[in-house]
């Protein structure tokens, strides 16, 4: 199975998945990284793992749809079976989602449906939540909305700083995301409406 990771930033989740594949915990081929930021740190990580990376400049496209069509064209050419989003800071058009229906995974640093969108950890912390966590889900046409695959909690203890909480959430992400990718690769996920059965 061929996997493509799409990322815009540091790429710690990209690295967690790349390590899982290198160790054969996930038995798949990490075919390529696609990024929309030329200076993204994730590109350095890709080089370290010998993964081909492609920078696609959104400014070269007339619209979000044209940009998405450009990515889909590459993914199809590379025979990609699974698209993994790892901090890819763009919202896809319905065209992209339909092109890879139930074949796009995303990770979000809260227990969805709480605190959708950006800065979820900080907003959960400021809200005074006792518990937050991580969600891995399929991508649909809405932001942070698709069927949930895995969730795990992080307890926010008395006196914990935002930095400590972020560190715990990231650590959990790096454990949970490879698990979800492994389940997909092993054909153990069945989507029924909003529910994902692990078979």
| Entry field: residues in the chain | 199
CA-nearest of 189, 198, 182, 199 to 25 is 182
Annotated active-site residue 170? The verdict is no
Q: Which CATH architecture has domain 1-100?
A: 3-Layer(aba) Sandwich (3.40)
Question: CA of 184: how far to CAs of 83, 105, 141, 178, 191, in Å?
Answer: 11, 9, 20, 10, 11
Q: How many CB atoms lie within 10 A of CB 125?
A: 21
Q: What is the pLDDT of residue 69?
A: 97
pLDDT per position as a tens digit, 101-155: 999 999 999 999 999 999 999 999 999 999 999 999 999 999 899 999 999 999 9
Instruction: Kindly give the residue spans of alpha helices, DSSP state H, lying in the chain.
Output: 12-22, 42-48, 64-77, 94-99, 120-127, 162-185
Q: Which residues of the chain are modeled with pLDDT < 70?
A: none
Asked if residues 184 and 23 have their Cβ atoms less than 8 Å apart, the reply is no
Q: What is the pLDDT of residue 14?
A: 97
Alpha-carbon gap, residue 70 to 146, rounded angstroms: 23
Distance linking the first and last C-alpha atoms of the chain: 19
- Give 54-59 contacts, CB < 8 A, sequence gap 24+: 58/90
Q: What is the pLDDT of residue 75?
A: 98
Q: Which CATH architecture has domain 106-199?
A: 3-Layer(aba) Sandwich (3.40)
Q: What is the pLDDT of residue 21?
A: 97
Q: What is the pLDDT of residue 99?
A: 97
Q: Which of 108, 137, 145, 195 is catalytic?
A: 108
Alpha-carbon gap, residue 106 to 120, rounded angstroms: 14
Q: What is the pLDDT of residue 79?
A: 97
Q: CATH 3.40.50.170: which residues of the chain?
A: 1-100, 106-199
């Amino acid at each position: 199975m061929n996997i493509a990771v799409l990322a815009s930033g540091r790429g710690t989740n990209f690295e967690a998945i790349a390590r899982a594949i290198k160790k054969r915990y996930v038995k798949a081929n990490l075919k390529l990284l696609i990024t929309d930021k030329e200076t993204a740190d994730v590109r350095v990580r890709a080089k370290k793992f010998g993964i081909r990376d492609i920078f696609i400049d959104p400014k070269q496209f007339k619209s979000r749809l044209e940009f998405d069509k450009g990515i889909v064209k590459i993914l199809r050419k590379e025979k990609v079976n699974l698209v993994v989003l790892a901090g890819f800071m763009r919202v896809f058009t319905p065209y992209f989602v339909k092109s890879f229906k139930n074949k796009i995974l995303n990770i979000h640093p809260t227990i969805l449906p709480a605190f959708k969108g950006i800065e979820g950890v900080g907003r959960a912390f400021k809200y005074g939540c006792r518990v937050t966590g991580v969600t891995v889900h399929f991508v649909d046409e809405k932001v942070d909305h698709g069927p949930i695959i895995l969730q795990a909690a992080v307890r926010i203890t008395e006196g914990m700083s935002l930095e400590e909480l972020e560190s715990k959430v990231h650590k959990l992400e790096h454990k949970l995301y490879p698990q979800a990718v492994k389940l997909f690769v092993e054909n153990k996920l069945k989507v029924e409406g909003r529910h994902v059965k692990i078979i």
